[in-house]
Amino acid sequence: MPSGRVHNLINIAAYSILSAAALALSRQDLLTITPVQALNFTVAYAAGTFLLSPDLDLAEGRVDSKRHWGLLGVAWVPYGRLFRHRGLSHSWVLGPLTRLAYLALLVTLIVGVLRYAAPALTLPTIPQPISLKFIVPVVLGYYLSQWLHLIADGIRPDHGFRHGAGRLKVPRSRARPGRARSRRA
């Protein structure tokens, strides 16, 4: 399996090829991409590559994505303890959603603490409604970066289904219920 740096290089190379193809197609009027859409795709792709890698499920490991978070990288340790490596967090659809949900939980906790500790502080809000012209490039950029990681790991799209939805880490006892251990004399 590739290291985190190799994953990053694969994603950078793929982004370069995609950008060149998009530029060539737009110059021939075969594709229309606004600068804002290109920026949204790029930011989501970069976030998925460098900050929200599927390898964040390595609880104690020295993962590039944790390192890119700096001191906040420690906030991903509970995520790594919750998901076993290459389990649900490495599925094609739910895996990327688990990282977004975990990040949303972290942001919600931080905003809640800030609102309680400093009620006079003005926090930015999410503009409503969010258009498809914004969402589609963001989702495409994020998921494409995740899928390239999974392809490089050799993980097929049916991975989560083949492995019982990739199970969460659940402590198990050594003895199976209802079975007695056999003893050898």
Q: Kindly report, residue by residue over 102-120, the tens digit of the pLDDT.
A: 999 999 999 899 988 988 8
For residue 84, the model assigns a pLDDT of: 84
Q: Is the pLDDT of residue 59 over 70?
A: yes
Write out pLDDT tens, residues 137-161: 999 999 999 999 999 988 888 765 6
pLDDT score of 45: 97
Backbone angles phi, psi at 108, to 5 degrees: -60, -40
Task: Among 17-21, 82-86, 126-130, name the one with the lowest average pLDDT.
Answer: 126-130
What is the pLDDT, as a whole number, of residue 118?
87
Window from 13-27, 74-88, 114-128 with minimum mean pLDDT: 114-128
pLDDT at 184: 45
pLDDT score for 97: 96
Are the C-beta atoms of 99 and 184 separated by less than 8 Å?
no
The closest of 164, 145, 143, 147 to 87, measured between CA atoms, is 164
d(CA 43, CA 61): 25
**168 beta partners:** 83
- Mean pLDDT value across the chain: 85
User: Quick one: pLDDT at residue 95?
Assistant: 92
Distance of CA 138 to the CA centre of its chain: 13
Binned at pLDDT 50, 70 and 90, residue 93 comes out as very high
Mean pLDDT of 150-174: 65
